[in-house]
Amino acid sequence: MALTTQEQMLVEQRVTNDAKSAGVAYLLLIFFGGLGAHRFYLGQTGTAIAMLVLTIAGWLTIVIVVGIPLLIAVGIWIFVDLFLIPGIVQQQKNDSRLRHAQEISLISNHGN
């Protein structure tokens, strides 16, 4: 069943309320990128932990030269994330839109 205009507006309002800010994600990336703060913010917990562990391991082992490739890898990852953030934010909005539309559709169908 298709949603009414009012239901679609409600879905979009909920998507807007749930949406993560790309601007905040970029600020976290710039200031705390190596710690994976932007990925924690965007709900990418697994990769955020991986980034945090690589950064810590890199700094702890930099004196024995092992840390240098780890920190270079994190640097490359941060650079790549500069381009991934808009897509992650958009995907979350799409997922939220679908989830809220299904919830509203179920509620309106249950009422009929």
pTM of the model: 0.82
Calculate what percentage of the chain has a pLDDT beyond 90: 62
12 versus 23: the higher-pLDDT residue is 23
Structural tokens at position 47 = 């990769």
| Domain-located, residue 83 | yes
| Domain-located, residue 16 | no
Distances 11 to 61, 62, 95 between C-alpha atoms, Å: 49, 49, 12
| Domain-located, residue 104 | no
The percent helix, strand, coil of the chain (3-state, each to 5) is 85, 0, 15
Domain span holding position 46? 25-90
Task: Give residue-wise pLDDT tens across range 62-103.
Answer: 999 889 999 999 999 999 999 999 999 999 988 888 888 888
Domain count, the chain: 1
